[in-house]
Amino acid sequence: MLDGRLRLVQPRKGHRAGSDAVLLAAACGEVAAETVADFGAGVGAVGLMVAARHPACRVVLVENDPGLAALARRNVALNGFEDRMEVCEANILAPATVRRKAGLAAGSAGLVVTNPPFWPAGRVRTSPDAGRRAAHVMADEALEGWLRAAADMLAPDGRLVLIHRVDGLAWLLAALAGRFGDIAVRPVYSAPDRPAVRLLVAARRGSRAPMRLLPGLVLSGADGRFTPEADAVHRGTASVAMG
């Protein structure tokens, strides 16, 4: 990934990191010497890319599945990030006291990034593979708990950056309400003449600034190849501006 700068061990079967992870990592903007928490990290793709792109930060990969957490630790070592990355096995939807005992201290992160399981049960065919199913499916109602945990771990004025499905925007905005403001939404299009396929969303804890709808990001041109902007993002030489 990132034009060969990052190596990633993934399961032979099940969920595998792709463009969603690349776009999410690229949407973080400038990341200073702060703690970044990757919620639902899987094998660590997003957090590892953030670490590779921003050498001053410290990254905590939060993953509940022991097998994926083990792969995440392997990936941290594989890329030489042991000095500033750690893996925390924790259930993000657990009560706050349980999360604290797992190591998710309140107010300890300046940035939370997350690609939450965003397909509601019953809306898509669920995979027989347990890992793929857990990575893709979560009830819309659970998103509120997921974002509540993110707000809890963020320091005042801390940032949240996530990727979500387009038709989940209403649920997402409702879950952000009361905890986050300064919400920026950037649609992602697979091609210029196609409907948006994803939303990149950035928000700030406790802000009262109004929401902004940003210009869209187009991934591919009429020839089916990455646009220059999307190609640079996937190579790790450009960011996706959310300001």
What is the pLDDT at residue 177? 95
40 to 53, 88, 157, 199, 215: CA distances (angstroms) = 20, 10, 22, 18, 28
The per-residue pLDDT for 145 is 93
pLDDT tens per residue across span 113-127: 999 986 565 544 444
Mean pLDDT, all residues of the chain: 91
User: What pLDDT digit, counting tens, does each position of 151-187 carry?
Assistant: 999 999 999 999 999 999 999 999 999 999 999 999 9
Superfamily of domain 19-235 in the CATH hierarchy = Vaccinia Virus protein VP39 (3.40.50.150)
Flag whether pLDDT at 129 surpasses 80.
no
**Segments making up each domain of the chain, as ranges:** 19-235
pLDDT at position 132 is 43
